[in-house]
Amino acid sequence: MRRLVSFNMMTLDGFFEGPNHDINWHNVDDEFNEYAIAQLYTVDTLVFGRVTCELMASYWPTPEAVQNDPVVANLRNTTPKIVFSRSLSSVDWANTRLLRGDAVQELATLKQQAGKDLFIFGSANLSASLLAHGMIDEFRVMVNPVLLGRGTPLFQDVPGPLHLELVNARTFRNGNVLLTYAFGAG
């Protein structure tokens, strides 16, 4: 059975993006890039909501992305992707499939199939919906040493207390801390 893993960067004050979808605060360096590449090799499907897909599709296929980060750009562009949206009529990003159906039902079916992990990046609204239905198996949160003061909270509309078990913690040289959680027995 495949797992659905959520990976997000987050500020110390709990935001995954600043106002107007700003992510210029992401604390990215060579060590982070090595981690990102290794993580992408464990995936065979990337999962997005509409907004995150549109933002990623506006960058990763560009010559700038390919020049600045060729390995990640190649992996992001060639890995199969699904985007859940009822408002999009099409998606132009290579290897991306538009799904208009129920995300919980679609992902439950995908999780039963053989393959590597499914990864959801960003996509706070989709993640909140999936979280409410117990669909996310693991959370990987990269806490960046920055306070924004305002932005979009990573965890919204949490359906009550959810007990998580810390699976791993890793400190990066640049001050980022990667926290990996799975659902615990509590």
Residue 149 lies in a domain: yes
pLDDT of residue 186: 44
CA dist 76 and 53 (Å) reads 11
Contact in structure between 23 and 156 (CB atoms under 8 Å): no
The tally of domains found in the chain comes to 1
As a whole-number percent, the residues of the chain with pLDDT over 90 amount to 80
User: b/e per residue, 79-97, with b = 16+ CB within 10 A?
Assistant: bebbbbbeeeeebebeebe
CA dist 42 and 80 (Å) reads 13
Asked if pLDDT for residue 46 goes beyond 80, the answer is yes
- The conformation of residue 20, written as its DSSP 8-state character, comes to G
Residue 140 lies in a domain: yes
Mean of pLDDT values over 166-178: 97
Residue 37 lies in a domain: yes
DSSP reduced 3-state for 100: coil
102: containing domain: 29-158
Residue 2 lies in a domain: no
- Of the ranges 30-44, 60-74, 122-136, 138-152, which one carries the lowest mean pLDDT score? 122-136
Contact in structure between 116 and 42 (CB atoms under 8 Å): yes
Residues 6+ apart with CB under 8 A from 28: none
Residue 7 lies in a domain: no
What count of residues does the chain have? 186
Angle at 137 between CA 133 and CA 140, to 5 degrees: 120
Residue 105 lies in a domain: yes
Dump pLDDT digits (tens) for 66-93. 999 999 999 999 999 999 999 999 999 9
Residue 163 lies in a domain: no
Q: What is the mean pLDDT of the chain?
A: 92
Asked if pLDDT for residue 162 goes beyond 90, the answer is no
Flag whether the pTM goes above 0.75.
Answer: yes
pLDDT of residue 144: 97
Angle at 49 between CA 47 and CA 50, to 5 degrees: 130
Residue 8 lies in a domain: no
* Confidence band for 184, pLDDT divided at 50, 70 and 90: low
pLDDT of residue 117: 94
